[in-house]
Amino acid sequence: MKIDASRALGAYAAVATCAAIWFALVGAAPGSTRRFEIIDVQRINVRETDGTLRMVIAGNDRIGGLIIGDTEYPHPGRTEAGVIF
């Protein structure tokens, strides 16, 4: 039995497409949460859905500055780590 190369390629493309769609839907499932014991990061930005920065948690070398409008400016005298709202 001889398999046509174009049919084999079409079948492979169909399977790969279905797998990609399945992974995209499962990865975007609502209500999925993950739990971690330790997370090492340098800075965490909390943003609104429109991209507005609302909170920064960071070490002293990555701490946020002054936000005027939509632009962040370095704070002239801040040297410590912390949480900025």
Taking the whole predicted model, whether its pTM rises above 0.85 is answered as no
Alpha carbon distance 23, 28 (integer Å) = 9
Q: Could you report the per-residue pLDDT of 12-66, keeping only the tens digit for each?
A: 888 899 888 887 777 666 666 778 888 888 888 888 888 888 888 888 777 777 7
**What is the reported pLDDT for 68?**
77
Instruction: Quickly state the pLDDT bin for 85 (edges 50, 70, 90).
Output: low
Tabulate helix, strand, coil % of the chain (nearest 5): 25, 25, 50
**What is the reported pLDDT for 2?**
61
**What is the reported pLDDT for 44?**
86
Q: In terms of Cα–Cα distance, which of 67, 77, 13 is closest to 45?
A: 67
Alpha carbon distance 82, 74 (integer Å) = 15
